[in-house]
Amino acid sequence: MSLRGEVCLVTGAGGFLGKRLVRLLLEEEKTAEIRLLDKRVQPDLLQTLEGCRGDTKLSVFEGDIRDGDFVRDACRGASVVFHIAAIIDVNESVEYSEIYGVNVKGTQVLLEACLQENIASFIYTSTIEVMGPNPRGEPLVNGSEDTVYDCSLKFSYSKTKKEAEQRTLLAHGEALRNGGRLATCALRPMYIFGEGCSFLLRHMGDGIRNRDVLLRMSLPEARVNPVYVGNVAAAHLQAARGLKDPQKRNAMGGKFYFIADDTPPVSYSDFNHVVLSPLGFGIQEKLPLPLGLLYALCFVLEMLCLMLRPLLRVTPPLNRQLVTMLNTPFTFSYQRAKRDLGYEPRYSWEEARKNTTEWLASQLPKERERIRAK
């Protein structure tokens, strides 16, 4: 099925994945209009998209996703919503009320607007972190949508994304004002990498400060399977096409799907090295402390910050749950998405690695200059 003639709304359109999805929609689907919703959209984004826009109208909606009137205006006349916008926080640096407001309440506001404005399809961008790993660091290898795992989520980010995902899936089949029914599904990508990835840029900066040696925060055996941003965007497009197809709509509606590709399983730290080593970066052989001592140090830091909380909000640079996430084997299969959505990775691992490394190479001089200037 095609999205030809549809009006698509992309929340978080100015972000890493959102920009990639908008470009893919322009390149492959003759949509009538794409609405870019975000707190702020950089002016040059529309300029970069002009070459592939064709006859598609591009509209910008800047505002707060918690604002019901604003969201409803953005939804009016649309037929497909890609909900990517979220606050991503793995350091617990954002107040819980803020992250809950955007990630959960914002999603609920958007779902209610879809019902009021007769939007037929809603694709929610979830995350692997709604699955874990749990605080005990229990490994999970080649998991599927049927895998039973004790999540015991601790991060505010993972908890709020989980609740927002549940609300999305429960909304499947809700009645629209015109008598139709809303169809929803959720995609759970692995750690997303590629051109524009701020996390990779941050790791590169840390490596520059450490004389071009990347910091090791993951044991080599703690393998995960990152996914390329171009493949995640393609999965979103396939999901939208599927929800438009009456047969697939029933099969995939109200369900979640893990989104991975053929990136070889590797630890987070070793993945950083894989894409940065062609630029001359090495990597530390060992963790800065044995894993047990690292947990103990994080506990002390967390307690100190908790004691200061009534007077001053201080966020530790590292916490126990982040150390657990970085050091737990956690991999998943995309076979269910392949079967139900027709998803296939568009980019091979070789292409994804090459594209990512070339982008990092283009950023390296600016990053070195920025760090020297400090």
What are residue 175's phi and psi, to 5 degrees?
A: -75, 135
DSSP state at residue 228: E
Of the candidates 323, 174, 233, the residue with the CA atom closest to the CA atom of residue 25: 233
Cβ(216)–Cβ(269) under 8 Å? yes
Does the active-site annotation cover 157? yes
Of the candidates 290, 271, 277, the residue with the CA atom closest to the CA atom of residue 213: 277
Task: Label residue 260 left, alpha or beta by phi (over 0 means left) and psi (-120 to 50 means alpha).
Answer: beta
Q: In the structure encoding, which two tokens stand for residue 119, read together? A: 């939007």
Per-residue 3-state assignment (H helix, E strand, C coil) for 71-120: HHHHHCCCCEEEECCCCCCCCCCCCHHHHHHHHHHHHHHHHHHHHHCCCC
Q: How many Å separate Cα 93 from the centre of its chain?
A: 18
Cβ atoms within 10 Å of 54's Cβ, excluding its own: 9
Crossing angle between the packed helical segments 268-276 and 349-373, to the nearest 10 degrees: 80
Amino acid making up residue 39: K
Q: In the structure encoding, which two tokens stand for residue 57, read together? A: 């109208």
C-alpha distances (whole Å) from 204 to each of 255, 327, 329, 363 are 37, 20, 23, 10
Crossing angle between the packed helical segments 68-75 and 106-116, to the nearest 10 degrees: 50
Residues near 133 by Cβ (< 8 Å), separated by ≥ 6? 139, 140, 324, 325, 328, 330
From 100, 124, 157, 257, the catalytic residue: 157
Q: In the structure encoding, which two tokens stand for residue 44, read together? A: 């040059």
CA–CA distance, 38 with 14 (Å, rounded to integer): 6
Cβ(39)–Cβ(64) under 8 Å? yes
CA–CA distance, 121 with 282 (Å, rounded to integer): 46
Supply the residues annotated as catalytic. Answer: 157
